[in-house]
Chains A and B, each alone.
Chain A
Amino acid sequence: MPSSDYDPASLPDLLPLYYRRLFPFSQYYRWLSYGGVQKNYFQNREFSFTLKDDIYVRYQSFSTQNELEKEMQKMNPYKIDVGAVYSHRPSQHNTVKSGTFQALEKELVFDIDMTDYDDVRSCCSAADICSKCWTLMTIAIRILDRALQDDFGFQHRLWVYSGRRGVHCWVCDEAARKLSVAARSAVTEYLSLVKGGDETIKKVVLTEPIHPFISKSLEVVKEYFSRYALHDQDLMGSKESVEKVLALVPEDARSYLQQEFEKEKKPEKRWKLIKEEALRKQSTAKKGQYFENEIMLQYCYPRLDANVSKGVNHLLKSPFSVHPKTGRISVPIDVSELDKFDPFSVPTISLICEELDRPRPGEEKEKLEDAKEKADEKDAIEKRKSRDYKRTSLAKYIKYFDQFLDGMARSWKGERLRNSDLQKEF
């Protein structure tokens, strides 16, 4: 059983173990140093910790990986957030002349939260998720990942499970990290199609010409729509649901469809009627003829929290952080296996701690070898650590993270060569 019955009360006992033996510090440091291309990039990065009893501390910064480790092992934070790279060390921000301490760079980030879809999912609400509505996250990742790569040219995108009800994206390209507030805002606007709050009934309106971005996004939605919306969400089944959908259809089409639905009860057939009606409208009307697509988008298109993406200094939950309520680790998602990702099989902190303690064959021998390597202690600790997490379900996620970092490292190498050439270092 993957979750191994996580109990939030056990966090104080589990966290120390997690931070001492499982948290992938060297990969984490490797990521946030970005190859050492820019001086003090890691040192000027802000972290924030949420400690026991909801104590929140900001402007944490560290000079070395070791310092980061020691501090985290000392504080055992319940939550870790990553912020921006500042002009000075965040921990010294009070000593800096007012006005000069500024957030300079940060990854471009996105936060997709299942609660933002409450008006269009019938299986769960609020913090709950299930395998039926998880498809929304799959669709979101497919659409956004494609756009970030093909439209914006971003190569290094890390998708992370938030631990409870959503996903985050960290776009780590240099160009992304250097984006201004205005640019982040523009990118977010470009990617937003669902607009309006509780008061708005029709949240997606399409007008000609239909931008290629919208067409491509619709293609993705269409792949999943039948199974997700018609089947899993039973969109065309219950009276209440049908009413909500028909509210998005222009009036004349609505009354026609309502009539037809008296006779036709099968969801697929009902949807077919909607498609046909939309097609008919397209050849006659000037407006409101895209309602079939508008419905699909309103029910499936990703809903972004714009505020998260716009600010350079916005803090976001760190990958490999623990979610205190569910115990799940915020693990990276392998996009190439996206359809197989199951949030309910993401390891919890209790599971991996338990896996850590399970004895393994040949372990006794390794302990003896460890003792012999006292001279090169750091290495031994690293080796043991890597053996540690490799014994747990965390292994495959850290491996994926490593591959992600390898991908980025190729670009860092080029940068470092360029910089050293400029400075004539040999």
Chain B
Amino acid sequence: MQFGGRKKKSSTIPQSELYGQHLQFYGQPPLENISLSEFETFAVERLKLLKTVENLGVSHVKLTDQYRRKLESQLKALNFPYRPDADDKKSQSGPIEYEKRRKDHISHFILRLAYCQTEDLRRWFIQQEVDLFRFHFTELVPKQQLAFLHKNNLHYDTISSEEKTALKDQLINSSFGISGIKVMEHEFYKVPFQDALDLVRLRKVYLKQGYAYIPHQDIVTIVLNDFRTRLSKALALTARSLPAVHSDERLQPLLNHLSHAYVGQDYSIQKNVGKISLDQIDSLSGKSFPLCMRQLHQSLRENHHLRHGGRMQYGLFLKGIGLSLEQALQFWKMEFIRGKVDADKFDKAYAYSIRHMFGKEGKRTDYTPYSCMKVILSNPPSQGDHHGCPFRHSDPELLKQKLQVYKVSPSGINQILELVKGMHYQLACQKYFELTHNIEDSSFSLNHPNQYFLESQKLLGGGKDIKREMDAPQRSQENSASKGSTGTQEVAANTSQHLAEMTEDLESFFQEA
């Protein structure tokens, strides 16, 4: 991609060919000139879109009507393509379909630049893009899906009726939910088994002579995996060409900000240091701590000890809610001394690791409090551990007992257990929030224990100070943007001003999310 001044040049490929379909694999990067402002706008709007995809994915079961409706409305609002059969023949106000698809194309590639840099970023980006692709693909009818596949050189061939008849029994017995009637009515695709590994691995497909016979309902899985693999490879390639991109001063600040913003807040900046006193913690743990931290706090009080996993998860959380290093040291020491550890041993063995958490030792990384994803997915607890996510890691019976002890109503407990069964751990925690705060609907999408705490404090009224602190976004990027050679200074200054506006925009967007 080349970046000219503020002028837009037309592309050299005829319009009708380039964006013939509303959905694409993003195989070819855009080959046109684009203005910086369009670059920024496209990127930010796609990021908003992907953020929405993420939130909807957490708070709804994917592809239900409600999910679809909400996602569609966001696509509309941000001027991205949302209807498979939209074309420009019908007159409409606002951007024409072609422009929407172009925006979709370009914005995807811009975000690749921002999100290829680390494993975490890549994983997040891929996940949302896959979900978005799934939404679009499943909006198509089978004929359109087949056309899409063929247009993208995925020559999944359907099998003839004769072959279907011959293989009928095997096909019925290989795939779940396929009856004799379905076999004859629906399409079956013949695909080399190497392209259907997920189905082969689980033995959910009929194999013959190296080919997998996939019912239409399962072809989506295959296509999604293909999309995911391609994107993953592409991101790895993109990462290699990053140094060249970063040397462009106009782009670097925006790309940095984009990749930082995906998390919204990671609670790494301590905003309320010293606002919490140690003697408040006990009562706060009952009122405003998420279940995982409440559990950890309780174990700590009962056993006067926590193992490493628990110390990390809880210790960083406490840092996030505003405990200072001195407070933290005092807190842990006071508790450990009550147990088997004497003051000396604490200073020798445990103090170091607490200081480490605050970035005062070793390579001085200021560790960030764990997000829900991290707690749920990494470092599962073993015998003697109390960390992790209780909704994920506790035996349902034990979880039930615990909730009863914490005076959650029986019907509430059932709702929570249902969500746990469906593996919606964060939703379960949100339900716990709603039940313990006596509200109908929590207005946020839970993805971080510290977020839980802040929302709780907000609700309970004591959080006015805290809220104001939350609004100050990081403005450091703009300063670095203004540095630069005289030649580009004007451009850079414009960029930084624009960036500042954009930044506010983004931050306030994430507050709502």
Do A and B pair up? The answer is yes
Q: A-side interface residues toward B, CB under 8 Å?
A: 150-154, 175, 179-180, 182-183, 185-187, 189-190, 209-215
A147 to chain B, nearest CB (A): 8
A209 close to B207 (CB less than 8 A): no
B194 close to A183 (CB less than 8 A): yes
Q: Which of B180-233 contact A (CB under 8 A)?
A: 193-194, 197-198, 200-203, 206-211
Q: What B residues does A182 contact at CB under 8 A?
A: 197
A153 close to B209 (CB less than 8 A): yes
- Whether B488 is near chain A, meaning CB under 8 Å from some CB there, is no
| Ranked 8 nearest A-B pairs via Cβ | A153-B210, A186-B201, A151-B207, A153-B209, A186-B197, A189-B201, A209-B173, A212-B170
Q: What B residues does A211 contact at CB under 8 A?
A: 173-174, 203, 206
B98 to chain A, nearest CB (A): 38
A189 to chain B, nearest CB (A): 4
B172 to chain A, nearest CB (A): 7
A209 close to B174 (CB less than 8 A): yes
A310 to chain B, nearest CB (A): 12
A296 to chain B, nearest CB (A): 18
A209 close to B201 (CB less than 8 A): no
A151 close to B201 (CB less than 8 A): no
Q: A212 to B173: give the CA distance in the assembly, Å.
A: 6
Which one of B176, B210, B211 has the highest number of Cβ atoms from chain A below 10 Å of its Cβ?
B210
Q: A190 to B196: give the CA distance in the assembly, Å.
A: 12
B200 close to A186 (CB less than 8 A): yes
Given contacts A183-B194, A183-B197, A186-B197, contact A213 B210 (CB under 8 A): no
Q: A214 to B200: give the CA distance in the assembly, Å.
A: 13
A153 close to B200 (CB less than 8 A): no
Q: What B residues does A210 contact at CB under 8 A?
A: 173
8 contacts between A and B (CB under 8 A): A150-B209, A151-B210, A186-B198, A186-B201, A209-B172, A209-B176, A211-B174, A213-B207
Residue of A whose beta carbon sits closest to that of B206: A212
Partner of B194, one of A154, A179, A185, A213: A179
Partner of B203, one of A152, A179, A213: A213
Q: What B residues does A213 contact at CB under 8 A?
A: 203, 207
Partner of B200, one of A150, A190, A212, A215: A190
B203 close to A154 (CB less than 8 A): no
Q: A211 to B211: give the CA distance in the assembly, Å.
A: 15
Q: What B residues does A179 contact at CB under 8 A?
A: 194
Q: What B residues does A185 contact at CB under 8 A?
A: 201
B194 close to A212 (CB less than 8 A): no
- For the A-B complex, the count of residue pairs with Cβ-Cβ distances under 8 Å equals 55
B197 to chain A, nearest CB (A): 4
Interface size on B, residues (CB 8 A): 21
Residue of B whose beta carbon sits closest to that of A214: B203
Q: A216 to B106: give the CA distance in the assembly, Å.
A: 51
Q: A180 to B208: give the CA distance in the assembly, Å.
A: 20
Given contacts A189-B201, A190-B201, contact A153 B211 (CB under 8 A): yes
Q: What A residues does B197 contact at CB under 8 A?
A: 182-183, 186
Given contacts A185-B201, A186-B200, A187-B200, contact A215 B207 (CB under 8 A): no
Residue of A whose beta carbon sits closest to that of B194: A183
A44 to chain B, nearest CB (A): 23
Q: What B residues does A212 contact at CB under 8 A?
A: 169-170, 173-174, 206
Q: What B residues does A152 contact at CB under 8 A?
A: 193, 207, 209-210
Q: What B residues does A214 contact at CB under 8 A?
A: 203
Q: What B residues does A187 contact at CB under 8 A?
A: 200
B344 to chain A, nearest CB (A): 43
A189 close to B202 (CB less than 8 A): yes
Q: A421 to B174: give the CA distance in the assembly, Å.
A: 42
B210 close to A154 (CB less than 8 A): yes
Residue of B whose beta carbon sits closest to that of A185: B201
Q: What A residues does B201 contact at CB under 8 A?
A: 185-186, 189-190
B224 to chain A, nearest CB (A): 15
Q: A249 to B503: give the CA distance in the assembly, Å.
A: 65
Q: A184 to B207: give the CA distance in the assembly, Å.
A: 15
A150 close to B172 (CB less than 8 A): no
Residue of A whose beta carbon sits closest to that of B170: A212
Q: What A residues does B200 contact at CB under 8 A?
A: 186-187, 189-190
B324 to chain A, nearest CB (A): 44
With contacts A185-B201, A189-B203, A212-B169 known, what are 12 further pairs, Cβ within 8 A?
Answer: A151-B208, A152-B193, A152-B209, A153-B210, A183-B197, A186-B201, A190-B200, A190-B201, A190-B207, A209-B172, A211-B173, A214-B203
A379 to chain B, nearest CB (A): 41
A175 close to B173 (CB less than 8 A): no
Q: A14 to B203: give the CA distance in the assembly, Å.
A: 48
Q: What B residues does A215 contact at CB under 8 A?
A: 173
Q: A210 to B174: give the CA distance in the assembly, Å.
A: 7
Residue of B whose beta carbon sits closest to that of A212: B170
Residue of A whose beta carbon sits closest to that of B169: A212
Residue of B whose beta carbon sits closest to that of A210: B173
Interface string of B164-177 (1 = CB under 8 A from A): 00000110111110
Residue of A whose beta carbon sits closest to that of B167: A212
Given contacts A179-B194, A212-B170, A212-B173, contact A190 B203 (CB under 8 A): yes
Q: A214 to B203: give the CA distance in the assembly, Å.
A: 10
Residue of A whose beta carbon sits closest to that of B199: A186
Interface string of B145-172 (1 = CB under 8 A from A): 0000000000000000000000001101
Interface string of B8-29 (1 = CB under 8 A from A): 0000000000000000000000
B291 to chain A, nearest CB (A): 30
Q: What A residues does B174 contact at CB under 8 A?
A: 209, 211-212
Q: What B residues does A209 contact at CB under 8 A?
A: 172-176
Q: A258 to B443: give the CA distance in the assembly, Å.
A: 60
B171 to chain A, nearest CB (A): 9
Residue of A whose beta carbon sits closest to that of B198: A186
Q: Which of B355-410 contact A (CB under 8 A)?
A: none
A242 to chain B, nearest CB (A): 31
Q: A308 to B216: give the CA distance in the assembly, Å.
A: 34
Q: A190 to B200: give the CA distance in the assembly, Å.
A: 6
Q: A175 to B211: give the CA distance in the assembly, Å.
A: 12
Q: A73 to B176: give the CA distance in the assembly, Å.
A: 57
Which one of A189, A190, A213 has the highest number of Cβ atoms from chain B below 10 Å of its Cβ?
A190
Residue of B whose beta carbon sits closest to that of A215: B173
Residue of B whose beta carbon sits closest to that of A147: B207
Residue of A whose beta carbon sits closest to that of B175: A209
B191 to chain A, nearest CB (A): 13
Residue of B whose beta carbon sits closest to that of A189: B201
Residue of B whose beta carbon sits closest to that of A153: B210
A175 close to B203 (CB less than 8 A): no
Q: What A residues does B206 contact at CB under 8 A?
A: 211-212
Q: A190 to B174: give the CA distance in the assembly, Å.
A: 12
Q: A211 to B213: give the CA distance in the assembly, Å.
A: 13
Q: A133 to B157: give the CA distance in the assembly, Å.
A: 45
Interface string of B49-82 (1 = CB under 8 A from A): 0000000000000000000000000000000000
Q: A211 to B209: give the CA distance in the assembly, Å.
A: 16
Residue of B whose beta carbon sits closest to that of A173: B210
